[in-house]
Amino acid sequence: MSDQLRRALDDLVQGVATEEDARTRAGGGLPVDAMTARARRGRVRHTALVAAVTACAVLGVAAGGVAVASWERADPAPAAPPTGPTPSPTTPAPSATPTATAPTSALPAGDPSLPFGTCGSVVGAPAVAPTAAGLGLGLSATPSVLGGAPVEVRTTWQITSGDVGAVAPATGPTVLLARDGVVVATAPTYPSASTVDTVALVYDDGEHASTPTFVSHVTPTVCDAPGASAGEPLPAGDYEAIAVAGVWTTGRDALLTLVAGDGVYTAADVAEHVPLEEGSVVSAAVPVRVEAQEADAAALPQAPAGPPSLDGVGVADDLTTYPDGCAAVVTPDPAGGVLAVTGPQGTVTAGTGVEVSTTYGGSGRISLGRGSLLRLTRDGAVVAATEVAYGLEDIDFGSTVGTVVPTASWRTCADGLVTAYDVPLEPGTYTAYPVVLASPYGLVGPDGTEIVPRGSEVTTRQVVGEPFTLVVP
């Protein structure tokens, strides 16, 4: 463990409140039961650890990184290499052939001395922390957007060595845009990210890999560097999107021993019992084009005002934490709700996979556990269902996540219960309903307030989409 990390962890552990200290067991064994009880009481306390998780989440914090999720100017941290005073934003002279739809902004000049992830740093430069072995970041982004429109970014933690376990920010990586090899825009995955102090655990136990996925929408603007038009829209052109994250690694088996059972953790919880090594992970670059044509701001989708709520979403049964796939719920939910489920339209022939998608229409973001399936009816009764395909992502307003469910074998159903598994269906025509068993494992408002704290007891909601016709040959 580096001296910097050790000092950060020592300071953090000392800053934990008395109630935190009381939960640690005297004597042998790890405090899993206490952590579990704390999670089920419904809220992870915000402690002095916030600063460390933020530093782990955004490598640029240690080198002048950003503090808000829109692509805005950053507040340089004291540890940043000196770059001289930051001038006021200036308006560059118009180009020889100016257009009304292509704003011209001064971009940061490359500075090879800056650690990668800092505004103005050079692609390929070393990051603040050394590269973490055994881990990767998968990244995809909207390939082309109108000027001023948001870019949808999806990042997923990847494990390249089964022996590695990791503690990563639960608020996602930092997203960068680079042009001509220079970082010109930076942002955390979500706004108000630093107010959430829990961590995401990354590991592969051979059966159920934990590889957190984050989906968000960010609007690119020039980051803050000497001579740059900080906060201005990026000029039209071709860019590269790159994700970068700080992470703390340890052995997989040690991490699994700590997190056995239910619970929710901060980095301090882990650091008290497991040795951690500071590192960083950088994704491969993907292309993003900003078009010269400007987006109509009035036409862009707007998230609802106020904190998010799941009241009235789907069918919730407080007596059943996870409904049976053969449950008789097949009434479609209204379109445009906080959670909307969609499947194919028209007629589909069984035998190939069918995608079931879920779109989040609320404010803030949700950590959404999904069980996606199809329910088939004849004469109004549920007679069969597919196997349930699972997914878990953090998503924000307007994000859609999908899962392909197989239609080659089925569970047969009667009176809401499974009567047989992995059986072929009788040939014929069925009415098929896409269904998602939605479990909100966390719900965070636009200002970072936890509406549903991570680790709380959750009620799974059955959300149903419009039906389509399925033909079994």
Instruction: Decide if 376 is inside a domain.
Output: yes
| pLDDT score recorded for residue 441 | 87
Q: What is the pLDDT of residue 456?
A: 67
How many other CB atoms sit within 10 Å of the CB of residue 402?
Answer: 16
What is the residue whose two structure tokens read 């100017």?
Answer: 73
pLDDT at 282: 98
Confidence of residue 207 (pLDDT cuts 50, 70, 90): confident
pLDDT of residue 39: 36
Has residue 405 got a pLDDT over 60? yes
pLDDT (tens digit, 9 = 90+) per residue, 236-292? 999 999 999 999 999 999 998 887 655 678 888 888 889 999 999 999 999 999 999
Q: What is the mean pLDDT of residues 381-396?
A: 95
User: What percent of the chain clears pLDDT 70, i.e. is strictly above it?
Assistant: 74
Q: Is the pLDDT of residue 194 over 60?
A: no
Last residue of a domain, one of 239, 270, 294: 294
CB atoms within 10 A of CB 324: 15
3-class secondary-structure state, position 420: strand
CATH number at residue 361: 2.60.40
Please identify which residue in the block is written with the tokens 């690694």: 249
Whether the predicted pLDDT of 360 surpasses 60: yes
What pLDDT sits at residue 462? 94
Rounded Cα gap, residues 232 and 235, in angstroms: 9
Task: Tell me the CA end-to-end span of the chain in Å, nearest whole number.
Answer: 61
Q: Is residue 338 within 8 Å of residue 310, measured between CB atoms?
A: yes
- Residue 75 in any domain: the answer is no
C-alpha 457/C-alpha 45 separation (Å) is 16
User: What pLDDT score does 454 carry?
Assistant: 72
Q: Is residue 267 part of a domain?
A: yes
Q: How confident is the model at residue 150 (pLDDT cuts 50, 70, 90)?
A: very high
Give 208-261 as a DSSP string: S-B--EEEEEE--B----TTS-TTSBPPSEEEEEEEEEEEEEEEHHHHHHHT-S
Structure tokens at 176: 């960068």
**How many domains would you assign to the chain?**
2
How is residue 311 annotated by DSSP?
A: T
Q: What is the mean pLDDT of residues 30-41?
A: 36
- Which amino acid would we find at residue 309? S
Do 363 and 261 lie in a common domain? Answer: no
Residue 388, domain member (yes or no) = yes
- 272 & 139 share domain: yes
Give domain status of residue 13, yes or no: no
Residue that is last in its domain, among 226, 260, 294: 294
**Poorest-pLDDT segment among 145-149, 335-339, 465-469:** 335-339
Q: What is the mean pLDDT of the chain?
A: 80
pLDDT recorded at residue 124: 95
Q: Give the pLDDT confidence score for residue 455 in this predicted structure.
A: 65
DSSP-based three-state secondary structure for 390: strand
What pLDDT does 67 receive?
Answer: 32
Assign 41 a pLDDT band (cuts: 50, 70, 90): very low
Say yes or no to pLDDT of 78 above 90. no
For residue 319, name the pLDDT band (cuts at 50, 70, 90).
low
Tell me, yes or no, whether 154 and 276 share the same domain: yes
Assess whether 274 and 365 both reside in one domain: no
Res 228: pLDDT? 95
Same domain, 366 and 464: yes
Estimate to the nearest angstrom the gap between the alpha carbon of 113 and the chain centroid.
Answer: 31
Per-residue model confidence (pLDDT) at position 209 = 84
Judge whether residue 417 has pLDDT over 60: yes
In-domain check, residue 434: yes
> 98 or 281: which carries more pLDDT confidence?
281
Residue 108 lies in a domain: no
Q: Tokens for 29? A: 């064994």
Q: What range does the domain containing 174 cover?
A: 121-294
Q: Which pTM does this prediction carry?
A: 0.77
Instruction: Report the CATH number at residue 189.
Output: 2.70.50
Say yes or no to pLDDT of 403 above 90: yes
pLDDT at 96 over 70: no
Shared domain check, 466 and 371:
yes
Whether 245 and 161 map to the same domain: the answer is yes
Q: Last residue of some domain: 233, 265, 294?
A: 294
Structure tokens at 470: 């399925």
Could you tell me if 261 and 369 lie in one domain?
no
Helix (H) or strand (E) run with residue 40 in it: helix 32-40
Q: Please tell me the least confidently modeled range out of 48-57, 240-249, 397-406, 426-435.
A: 48-57
Rounded Cα–Cα distance for residues 261 and 271 (Å): 18
Report pLDDT for 453: 78
Residue 254 lies in a domain: yes
| Residue 338: alpha-carbon gap to chain centroid | 17
Q: Token digits for 89?
A: 């934003």
Do 364 and 288 belong together in one domain? no
263 and 356 fall within a common domain:
no
d(C-alpha 281, C-alpha 173), whole Å: 9
Q: Are residues 357 and 262 in the same domain?
A: no
Regarding whether 214 and 138 lie in a shared domain, the answer is yes
